[in-house]
């Protein structure tokens, strides 16, 4: 029997087609410039958040803290007044506060008035009367002069924030333990130098007055959120009312 041969061809690897090349491009990481821009953007966002939180703290949270402290100090003064009605008169305590300012056109809340105009004192959400560079004349003295006061316009209670709402004829009432002192606005100065001490003079001639009288002057920073200039309001005493047992406020504060 004749031998048979396997005529099936033997295929080698050389005969197989080459694999298709990888057509997808290789991905490259972001360049240095793109990375720097991304990091810078993130820093700007972070800085913006920090600045936003600082603004919230300065313009809102400091008001909350100052109002809380001012309320406590106000309660202390009124407690002293109630106590003195039972135990007899006390010496004027200028540390705790000498009375309360009521300015309906500016605020519906009473403002505790204390001695001094330092930033530390005003930060407690109160108004302070000047002792320097020109000493204020307190209305309780009965003398002619100028009862000069300062308070913050933004942050830390912002008691004079709406000072620009005051117009000629508006009432300013100062309350003490025994008296209501009713003033009427007669002039305003929307902007003056913070070094202008003439506005605090016993006779504030810049307001148009030339003769001695019983005046009140409110001062604060302007424009709002800055301390570059001063906003000034002048009033003149029109009458004094005795405080009754019910502490009924003057007609200007009713209704």
Active site residues: 221
Greatest extent of the chain over all pairs of C-alpha atoms, in Å: 152
Q: Of 150, 146, 115, 126, give the one whose Cα is nearest residue 227.
A: 150
Report the C-alpha gap between 204 and 217 in whole angstroms: 9
Neighbours of 115 (CB within 10 A): 19
Residue 167 burial (CB < 10 Å; 0-12/13-18/19+)?
exposed
Q: In sequence order, what DSSP letters do the residues of 44-87 get, joined into one string? A: HHHHHHHHHHHHHIIIIIHHHHHHHHHHHHHHHHHHHHHHHHHH
Question: Are the beta carbons of 149 and 217 closer than 8 angstroms?
Answer: yes
For 91, what's the count of Cα atoms within 13 Å in the CB-facing half-sphere? 2
Phi, psi of 219 (to 5 degrees): -130, 150
Indicate the SS3 state at residue 191.
Answer: strand
Beta bridge partners of 115: 129
Report the C-alpha gap between 222 and 227 in whole angstroms: 6
């Amino acid at each position: 029997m004749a031998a048979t041969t396997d005529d099936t061809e033997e295929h080698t690897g050389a005969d197989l087609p080459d694999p298709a090349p990888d057509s997808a491009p290789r991905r490259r990481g972001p360049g240095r410039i793109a990375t720097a821009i991304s990091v810078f953007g993130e820093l700007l966002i972070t800085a913006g958040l920090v600045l936003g939180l600082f603004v919230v703290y300065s313009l809102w949270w400091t008001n909350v803290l100052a109002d809380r402290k001012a309320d406590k100090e106000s309660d202390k003064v009124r407690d002293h007044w109630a106590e003195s009605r039972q135990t007899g008169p006390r010496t004027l305590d200028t540390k705790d506060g000498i009375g309360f300012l009521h300015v309906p056109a500016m605020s519906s809340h009473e403002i505790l008035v204390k001695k001094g105009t330092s930033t530390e004192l005003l930060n407690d959400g109160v108004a302070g009367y000047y002792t320097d560079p020109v000493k204020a004349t307190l209305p309780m003295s009965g003398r002619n002069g100028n009862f000069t006061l300062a308070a913050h316009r933004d942050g830390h209670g912002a008691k004079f924030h709406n000072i620009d709402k005051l117009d000629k004829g508006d009432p300013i009432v100062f309350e003490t333990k025994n008296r209501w002192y009713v003033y009427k606005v007669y002039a305003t100065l929307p902007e003056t130098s913070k070094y202008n001490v003439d506005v605090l003079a016993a006779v504030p001639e810049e307001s148009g007055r030339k003769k001695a009288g019983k005046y009140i002057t409110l001062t604060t920073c302007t424009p709002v959120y800055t301390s570059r200039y001063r906003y000034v309001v002048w009033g003149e005493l029109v009458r004094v009312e005795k405080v009754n047992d019910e502490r009924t406020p003057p007609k200007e504060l009713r209704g």
